[in-house]
Structure 1
Amino acid sequence: MQLTSLSLPPAMLQEAERFAKKEGRTKSELFREALRRYLQEQRWAALRGYGAQQAHKLGAKETDVERLIAEYRKGR
């Protein structure tokens, strides 16, 4: 593991310390979990964006998704 620095406003740091203590975690564990969730959210956002682009190219609407999946699976 690599050590890094993080600058936070005092109020945010105090709140993080309270949450970490309440959950029986270290601040490092709390920040790692927050970053993991943020990165996961960004990956899902990128995937949703890609899906929306592909749907737009195909002229598909969100309401078409289940039908299109069923048709695809039927044709396999």
Structure 2
Amino acid sequence: MMPTVTVNIAFQDSLLDQIDKTARKEFRSRSELIREAARLYIERRSQWSDLFALGDMVVQKNQLTQDDVSGEIASARAARTTSA
């Protein structure tokens, strides 16, 4: 098991109430819930970072301009509107 470090974090009362209610519903401690929330946040940020890096790579590889990207977005939105 990895060693742990205790930290102090300030929350607004309303957020802390929501944290505690959720932890009770899931039969977990407040600390477990907050650790899981932090892990999920870090994982999601990493996934978004990877996605944006992939987008940048595609833009560079295909030598796309901002106008190319905007045109594709507009085209996709128009196609979605007409098919709905």
Q: CA deviation at 1:2?
A: 0.3
1:29-60 deviations in Å (ceiling 9; x for gaps): 00000000000011001100110000000118
Supply the distance in 1 between the matched residues of 2:51 and 2:5 (Cα, whole angstroms): 32
Alignment of 1:50-61 (within 5 A): 50-59=53-62
TM-score (norm 2): 0.69
Q: Percent identity?
A: 21
Write the letter of the residue equivalent to 2:17.
Q
Aligned to 1:18: 21
Aligned to 1:3: 6
Instruction: Note the aligned Cα RMSD (angstroms).
Output: 1.5
Write the letter of the residue equivalent to 1:47.
D
Supply the distance in 1 between the matched residues of 2:46 and 2:22 (Cα, whole angstroms): 26
TM-score (norm 1): 0.76
Aligned to 2:43: 40
Runs of at least 5 residues in structure 2 that lack an aligned partner in the other structure: 65-84
SS at match of 1:44: helix
Aligned to 1:69: none
Runs of at least 5 residues in structure 1 that lack an aligned partner in the other structure: 62-76
Supply the distance in 1 between the matched residues of 2:5 and 2:46 (Cα, whole angstroms): 23
